[in-house]
A and B are shown apart, each in its own frame.
Chain A
Amino acid sequence: MTKRFNTGYKITVIILSILVAMLIGAVILIAIGADVLKTYLVILTEPLKNKIGITEVLLRMIPLTIVALGITVAYRSGIINIGAEGQMAIGILATTAIALLFPNLPSYVLIPFAILAGALGGAFWGFIPGFLKAKLEVSELLSTVMLNYIAAQLYTFFLRGPMLDPAELTMGSGTPQSMRLTRNLDLTRLIPGTRLHSGIFIAIALALLIYLLLWKTSYGFKMRAAGAQERAARYGGINVPKYLIIAMVISGAFAGMAGAIEIAGVHRRAIEGVTSGYGFSGIVVALFGGLHPAGILPAAFFFGLLLYGADMTQRLVGVPANMVQVLQGVIILVIVSSKMILANPYLQQRVETKWLALTKQSRKEVQA
């Protein structure tokens, strides 16, 4: 009974959080004179009305899931990774470099190789703040944000310089993008006429992998111990700095992989704006999913819906797509605020007694 009550209590609090967040979002919507109900209805239902819409939501779910899994590993180990955006960008550069250098490798070699390169690129970009935090006590919050800006500049530099599409140079339009990468890198599209690609299986497999890593291996246990209670972990003989660095490397590798899969599955070339805020949305997904793979998958679907729905509000109700950023920010604020309500045993007990009393009463009424 208690366990069932616990899950129910948590889900109720999360649903209430969404409602509060939507209420705060409504203030902004009223300020721009939009129809609040219609806007939310468009965001939440419009994408699900046809095949294209659903596959587009699933498409956005892929990078969201992978990034959020990485952020979960870091968060559980006591380090907040806000740098997924930059790690994705470096991962994309690494993948593109591999695809440009070895265009003739067969698919079954090139795809794993290129995704691995993306993971290594992201891992390197995650290692820097991890090392700075573990060895030099530099706040990861600031270093990862700064590395985002640095990665964004590196990204444009490579797209404008060494990786620029030769065709752009001769045609003279100068759009900063790489050439169409070799077809051997393409991930298969699952449903004809849509963009959904096989990366979704990779995302689900990675979710399983993270679950096994964090909850079924001693590595995962040590990382979670370091995150939950640093002093106790150190007293227990866990080398906390080492696990912080490992967690950040894994976190970065996941972001890098997300970038690599975006390139191989969706864009097929490195262009500007591939990361498009996935690094930040990933934080919201991770928190919303309760920092657990089983929660992250549905959370990623929900935020994929939100992201795609927000694209439609511009056209259908004239609400700028930036609105989704407002909602994400508010959702973070509301979720972290609700932690106190969730973690307060006294409050929980009182709600439980009331709930028990209510159910008993209703049972009596039924019997009578």
Chain B
Amino acid sequence: MTFILNFLSLGIPFSVALLIASLGEMFNQRAGIFNLGCEGIMAMGAFLGMLIPYSIGRGADVPGIYNYLGLLVATGVGALLGLFFAMVVVTFRAPQGIAGIGLQMFGVGTAGTLFRHFVGGTQSIPGINRAPIPFLADIPVLGPLFFNHNPLVYVAFFLVPIAWYVLFKTPWGLRVRAVGTHPRAADSIGIQVNKVRFQALALGGALAGLAGAYLSLCQAKMFSDEIIAGRGFIAVALVYFGHWNPVKIMGGALLFSLAQALQLAIQGLGIDFPYEFLVMLPYVLVILVLTLSRKAQHMGPTALGKPFNREMRT
């Protein structure tokens, strides 16, 4: 019982980075842009998130406000990188898959370069600690499971209904879905397709930056080159798996994080099993999930991956 409880309460925080990043990617894809550079934006977010409190505190404890400043900067730079990517794939109509790889290399490379210059080696930071919710955290079983987490964990799960509301119940969400489904029709009723795509990419980039900062500030409490470890790509896969729907994406993120927690729990039990095969597990799971959810691809935004050119005849 305690084993299962430990494993579940370990798994929930793991889902946060995936969840936030894939919600952002969902907005990108709903607007018709496939952003494979999510990994690079997350790397920049993770680096900036730890840089701000580290450079102010130099390892010592800093007032919590600087941690939140780190989150804010990571989010802002994420949005800027999203806009940069928008310029490449929306304005210049570059093929999105390969451009995403470019953004990924740019982000990971820049984070690594700046990290070596400004920080040097591995440095741990105090980061943001868990904040139990008064009274609720004391409830047996449910308390440790749901109410004894990092503040960002609550924020992430709160983002799910917000993302759902924005996407399905606001005029802007409708415009996003329109430009991702039939940009020409959207254009004909006066929606500025490229403008909406820029906005969606800025939002997606901001969320990816936040997700990266969560990893360095709350989960690992340090930065390293491998901190993202493919989570950006998994987030993209989760969007397919979750049928471009925030609630289903949350389910997918939880599935993956529980698989990861299970892996750590098995290691903790001291069962003799090659460590490498456990680490492999989430990546194998992604391929399986993509194979199983292939039919869902036809439910996705129909203009996904296609640049919109106003001057072209269809």
Contact = CB atoms under 8 A, between A and B. Distances in A.
Contacts of B276: 153-154, 156-157, 160
Given A161-B274, A325-B109, A333-B106, A142 B101 contact: no
B239 to A, nearest CB: 10
A322 B274 contact: no
Interface in A325-347: 325-333, 336-340
A339 B98 CA distance: 12
Interface residues of B, number: 47
Contacts, number: 141
B223 to A, nearest CB: 13
Nearest to A157: B276
A132 interface: yes
Interface string B80-113: 0000000110001111011111111111111011
How would you classify the secondary structure of chain A's contact residues: helix, strand, loop or mixed?
Answer: helix
A141 B94 CA distance: 16
B114 A28 contact: yes
Contacts of B290: 132, 138-139, 142-143
Contact of B106 (A138, A145, A329): A329
Interface in B243-302: 274, 276-277, 279-280, 283-284, 286-287, 290-291, 294, 297
Contacts of B274: 157, 161
A44 interface: no
Contact of B94 (A283, A319, A324, A339): A339
B98 A336 contact: yes
B287 A326 contact: no
A333 B283 contact: no
Interface string A129-163: 00010001111011101110110011011001100
A31 interface: yes
Contacts of B237: 142, 146
B98 A283 contact: yes
Given A137-B297, A146-B230, A154-B276, A332 B112 contact: no
Contacts of A149: 229-230, 280, 283
A308 B287 CA distance: 35
A333 B279 CA distance: 31
B286 A32 contact: no
A138 B294 contact: yes
A320 B280 contact: no
Contacts of A338: 92
B128 interface: no
Interface string A18-33: 0000000000100111
Given A28-B110, A80-B97, A332-B98, A322 B116 contact: yes
A153 B114 contact: no
B287 A143 contact: yes
Contacts of A139: 240, 290
B283 A150 contact: yes
A331 B99 CA distance: 10
B92 A340 contact: yes
Contact of A283 (B101, B109, B279): B101
Nearest to B236: A142
Given A153-B279, A280-B105, A336 B99 contact: yes
B291 A136 contact: yes
A332 B102 contact: yes
A141 B109 contact: no
Contacts of B229: 149
A347 to B, nearest CB: 12
Contact of B230 (A31, A137, A145): A145
B36 interface: yes
A323 interface: yes
Contacts of A340: 92-94
B103 A329 contact: yes
A329 B274 CA distance: 35
A154 B276 CA distance: 7
Interface of A: 28, 31-33, 80, 82, 132, 136-139, 141-143, 145-147, 149-150, 153-154, 156-157, 160-161, 280, 283, 287, 319-320, 322-333, 336-340
7 contacts: A147-B283, A161-B274, A280-B105, A283-B101, A325-B109, A330-B106, A336-B88
